[in-house]
């Protein structure tokens, strides 16, 4: 499972990079580009954390 998760995380990082570049594209060549990239990455990171947290269900451990 660990190897699958590591591979999944690598793929997700590639996706996040591509997605955030696309989202920030309208700001390219402006001072706001870095901020748009950072904002996108922060939002994506939080979504990923939420997604990972859904994988673990401690209430099911005792069954």
Tell me which DSSP letter residue 30 carries: S
Contact call for residues 20 and 37 (beta carbons, < 8 A) = yes
**Residue 24 CB-density burial (10 A; 0-12 exposed, 13-18 middle, 19+ buried):** buried
The pTM of the full predicted model, rounded to 2 decimals, is 0.78
Q: What is the pLDDT of residues 9-48, one digit of tens each?
A: 999 999 999 999 999 999 999 999 999 999 999 999 999 9
Model pLDDT, residue 63? 53
């Amino acid at each position: 499972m660990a190897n699958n998760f590591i591979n999944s995380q690598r793929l997700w990082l590639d996706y996040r990079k591509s997605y955030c570049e696309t989202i920030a594209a309208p700001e390219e060549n402006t001072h706001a580009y870095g901020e748009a990239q950072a904002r996108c990455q922060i939002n994506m990171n939080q979504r990923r954390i939420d997604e990972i947290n859904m994988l673990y269900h401690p209430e099911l451990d005792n069954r």
